[in-house]
């Protein structure tokens, strides 16, 4: 099943995120995912495994397992490259061994000190606080993202981790509207106002932690998991699904991805 984005391109409703996948595991994971039907892979410069993903994709293409046009590849601009958008995108394309991206997202709405294209380091100031680059606005970054579309390097552009106010601002200054806002959302963090705002303005909402953050990383998101919730377990049993299946289907019911 696919979602039609606001620019007419279709995006598979379910994607496989490669965050925290180790380099040595990626090839088998991606090949197996393609074999069972995955066609959307969600990457990011900051995941530090784009080169390994690219190797796996190249292998899938060379063996005829799948064609490039049958896949939807997403990756993301890291905070330290907000002032070097074109160079960062080209670096990701080189690592992924692709001629174009289906979707390129601004990973977080903050510019930090540049540490080298694709380096994705987060420099700390002398006081130990993240060094923010106050000379680069989100509007400047977005216009550079729009240039990627004009150059043919990217088909769709979007945002990630933007709240309702930043999303509103992006709509105000954009010539190319964001096609997607990828956010944390799940039963414990539903964000109805943001979701409704995005949908009202034609922005597809993608959940990057649909099973609850603890399912992905308990260190960052805490130990409470939707997968262990007794209410969700009861509902999943009622519909003869696993909790993960039930949560994924509920997203689709609400027209999220």
Q: Which residues are annotated as a binding site for substrate?
A: 107
DSSP lists the bridge partners of residue 106 as: 77, 159
Of residues 81, 205, 89, the one with CA closest to residue 154: 89
Are 158 and 6 in contact by the 8 Å Cβ rule? The answer is no
Is 162 one of the annotated active-site residues of the chain?
no
CA of residue 204 relative to chain centroid, distance: 12
SS3 content of the chain, % helix, strand, coil (to 5): 45, 15, 40
Give φ, ψ of 106 to 5 degrees: -75, 110
Instruction: For residue 120, give Cα distances in angstroms to 124, 143, 255.
Output: 13, 21, 32
Q: How are beta strands 180-183 and 204-207 bridged, if at all?
A: parallel
Are 113 and 80 in contact by the 8 Å Cβ rule? The answer is yes
DSSP state for residue 186 in the 8-state scheme: B
Catalytic-labelled residue, pool 47, 104, 173, 239: 47
Are 161 and 191 in contact by the 8 Å Cβ rule? The answer is no
Are 121 and 115 in contact by the 8 Å Cβ rule? The answer is yes
Residues acting as catalytic residues: 47
């Amino acid at each position: 099943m696919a979602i039609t984005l606001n620019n007419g391109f279709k995006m598979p409703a379910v994607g496989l995120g490669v965050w925290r996948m180790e380099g040595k595991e990626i090839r088998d994971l991606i090949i197996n995912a393609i074999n069972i039907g995955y066609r959307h892979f969600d990457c990011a410069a900051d995941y530090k495994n784009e080169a390994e993903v690219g190797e796996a994709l190249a292998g899938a293409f060379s063996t005829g397992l799948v064609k490039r046009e049958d896949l939807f590849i997403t990756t993301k601009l890291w905070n330290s490259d907000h002032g070097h958008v074109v160079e960062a995108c080209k670096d990701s394309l080189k690592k992924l061994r692709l001629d174009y991206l289906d979707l390129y997202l601004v990973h977080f709405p903050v510019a930090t000190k540049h540490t080298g294209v694709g380096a994705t380091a987060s420099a700390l100031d002398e006081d130990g606080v993240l060094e923010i680059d106050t000379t680069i606005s989100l509007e400047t970054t977005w216009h550079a993202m729009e240039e990627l579309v004009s150059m043919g390097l990217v088909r769709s552009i979007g945002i990630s981790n933007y709240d309702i106010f930043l999303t509103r601002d992006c709509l105000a200054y954009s010539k190319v509207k964001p096609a997607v806002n990828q956010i944390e959302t799940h039963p414990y963090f539903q964000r109805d106002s943001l979701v409704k705002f995005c949908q009202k303005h034609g922005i597809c909402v993608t959940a990057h932690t649909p099973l609850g953050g603890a399912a992905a990383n308990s260190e960052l998101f805490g130990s409470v998991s939707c997968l262990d919730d007794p209410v969700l377990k009861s509902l999943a049993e009622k519909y003869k699904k696993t909790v993960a299946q039930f949560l994924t289907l509920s997203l689709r019911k609400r027209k999220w991805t």
